[in-house]
Amino acid sequence: MELLTALRTHRIVAIVRGADADASLRTVLTLAEEGIALVEVSLSGEDAPGVIRRARAELGPAAPLGAGTVLTARDAGTVAEAGADFVVTPAVCEGVTESKRLGLPVLAGVMTPTDIVAAQRLGADGYKIFPAAQAGGPGFLKALRGPFPDAPFVPVGGVDAELARTYLAHGATAVGVGSPLIGDAADGGSLDALRERARAFLDAVRLAPDAGR
């Protein structure tokens, strides 16, 4: 999988983290049906490797499917075996190095310029600014693009549809979206409401400028 191309094309990564594995699977499949092509299943959710494995079987080999909260080498091996084809980490950690060794592209969690340089040295394919709101929001992203003008940044944390447009206007390659999009769907909540939120986010992303692409 060419992660950077996918981020530039789709511009949104949905983050699924649920207390109900069956509901999490339904959430992944519903997002795919609505046209949200990049979905990350967080290892902090219930039976995340099982959700990834079942989603891979349902979606087929060509659909992008990621694993999030990958911290350790063991995590990386687990998600690779389950069928993930890209990895997202919350920090610059062992999960980055082992995922790259296994041939998986990585969106590495960063918060400072030092983190970005460290992630670059480990071969990260993109940089997840996390937690984006606490780091300083769109203004912080704009500032980072000064010393790192070509770095593919993906802000994550508290990103609603309006903020998604703002981040993209300030140079984000894509945005990562959890609860503002997923709501309670991965815990057994309404899939109809999830579909409505998905369409709203897709509309917001389509209308956003392409400063970071």
CATH number for the domain harbouring residue 146: 3.20.20.70
For residue 15, the 8-state DSSP code is: E
User: Is 183 within a domain?
Assistant: yes
Assess if residue 20 is contained within a domain. yes
Residue 161: pLDDT over 90: yes
| Strand-by-strand arrangement of the 175-177 sheet | 153-155, 126-129, 106-110, 86-88, 66-68, 38-42, 12-16, 175-177
Number of domains in the chain: 1
Q: Which of 34, 98, 100, 128 is catalytic?
A: 128
The residue-averaged pLDDT of 3-14 equals: 97
Do the domain assignments include residue 213? no
- Report the range of poorest mean pLDDT among 65-69, 100-104, 115-119, 133-137: 133-137
Catalytic residue among 40, 46, 98, 162: 40
In this prediction, residue 39 carries a pLDDT of: 98
Q: Who wins on pLDDT, 211 or 201?
A: 201
The domain of 101 spans 3-207
User: What are the two backbone dihedrals, phi and then psi, of residue 72, each rounded to the nearest 5 degrees?
Assistant: -115, 170
For residues 153 and 145, the answer to whether their CB atoms sit within 8 Å is: yes
Is residue 153 predicted with pLDDT exceeding 70?
A: yes
Looking at the domain assignment, is residue 103 inside a domain? yes
Q: Is 142 a catalytic residue?
A: no
Residue 53 has pLDDT above 80, yes or no: yes
* Residue environment code for 95-120, b if the CB has 16+ CB neighbours within 10 A, otherwise e: bbbbbbebebbbbbbbbeeebbebbe
128 catalytic residue (yes or no) = yes
Residue 198 has pLDDT above 80, yes or no: yes
pLDDT category at 213 given cuts 50, 70, 90 is low
Question: Residue 190: how many CB atoms within 10 A of its CB?
Answer: 12
Task: Decide if 212 is inside a domain.
Answer: no
Query: Is the pLDDT at 36 greater than 80, yes or no?
Result: yes
Is residue 33 situated within a structural domain? yes
Return mean pLDDT, the chain: 96
Q: pLDDT value at position 134?
A: 87
